[in-house]
Amino acid sequence: MAEIVQSGGKRGRGKKRARLGVRLDMTPMVDVAFLLLTFFMLTTTLLTPQVMEITMPPDSKVPVEIAESNLLTLRVRRDMSVFWNMGSEAPQKIAEADVPKILKQHLQINPKLSTLIKIDRQAKYQNLVSMIDDLNETQAELGQSEKRFSLVAMDDTDQKIVGGL
Amino acid sequence: MTPMVDVGFLLLTFFMLTAKFKPQSDEPLQIMLPVAAADTTKLPDANLATIQVGLKARPTGEIDTVIEFGVSNEKDRAPIYKQLNLTDPKTGAPLSDAQLAMKSGVVVTKTTLETAVEQARLQNPSMRYAIDADSAVNFGTIDDVMHALQKWGATRMNLVTMNKQKS
């Protein structure tokens, strides 16, 4: 591979000479390097997953009292239909896409509003993430930093309330 | 050719340094992450316990929900997994510490998940917890996982999501 180009072979033999032009063939090294480059390029995943941080109360048995006017309840039924109500009003069905609109409307009037998210155990995880995401986005849009919401699974009473709607 | 080789080596160095190799867990789960738009936080690399919840279809067509508990720090793995009484599927012998440290995740049930969380809390109090679940998993399972974390005081949890492309 490496070849030594001797120039002027006629000069004296026994005499030590400084190395003359040494030409290295770099092609194999470059080949290997590019092979490795291709390998690493194909195996890296530059996209790290995003996370949504939520904080839960340490003990769920302690009841929290909240004024009815400060409570917005969102319920997700097992067929993924969404219902909302303020305080103890009757729940109303809304399209999932309209949740941010409702939240924005009410959070704008009352920044102290707490949101209660109730999800059926048979509903999907995506429903939970969408609800929290809508809430986060609305709060970011309105410039409110506090992310107050509670999350519970629907119980039998909730099933009765939204079951027939 | 020299400039091209220079650039090539630069790129090679970059990709070599950014590459991360993860040891495979026993049964890698295929997870379709739920999409969310508002999140900007990235998942930490160290001091992280991940609870993966995925769906697996049986040959008969039924779909099982599989829960896997994984610890990112290799030194924490053996002490935590040890309490779960894992055995070698071939010989039935208990796994050694070295074997346990190689596992990035172990399959758990609802009850052993609580044990795992308890051990993780005792072993490394600064551990953070992430829930990495498939978007089609029932909320009930997620609720159980959250309650297991809540029970042992891991009240801050991270839900792994995929960034929704804003249009």
Model confidence at B167, pLDDT cuts 50, 70, 90, reads very low
Confidence of residue B22 (pLDDT cuts 50, 70, 90): low
Per mean pLDDT, which range of B8-17, B35-44, B78-87, B99-108 is the poorest? Answer: B35-44
Q: What is the pLDDT of residues B43-78, one digit of tens each?
A: 777 888 889 888 888 888 788 888 888 888 888 888
Question: For B11-15, what is the mean pLDDT?
Answer: 88
Contact between chains at A129 and B161 (C-beta distance less than 8 A): yes
Alpha-carbon gap, residue A124 to A101, rounded angstroms: 22
Tokens of residue B47, six digits: 């001091």
Nearest-Cα distance to chain A for B73, in Å, is 18
| Better-scored residue on pLDDT, B132 or A13 | B132
- Cβ B75 vs Cβ B81: under 8 Å: no
Tell me: pLDDT of B116 over 60: yes
- Within the 71-130 window of chain A, which residues sit less than 8 Å (CB to CB) from chain B? 76, 119-130
Looking at domain A69-163, its CATH class is: alpha beta
pLDDT at residue A148 above 80? Answer: no
Res B24: pLDDT = 53
**Cβ within 8 Å of residue A74, ≥6 positions away:** A82, A83, A84, A99, A115, A116, A117, A118, A131
Greatest mean pLDDT among A33-37, A85-89, B77-81? A33-37
Chain B residues with CB under 8 Å of A136 CB are 36, 38-39
Residue A63, classed as helix, strand or coil, is coil
Q: Which pLDDT score, from 0 to 100, does residue A6 have? A: 53
pTM: 0.73
**Percent over 70 (pLDDT), chain B:** 90
Give, for A100, the enclosing helix (H) or strand (E). Answer: helix A99-109
B27: phi then psi, degrees, rounded to nearest 5: -125, 95
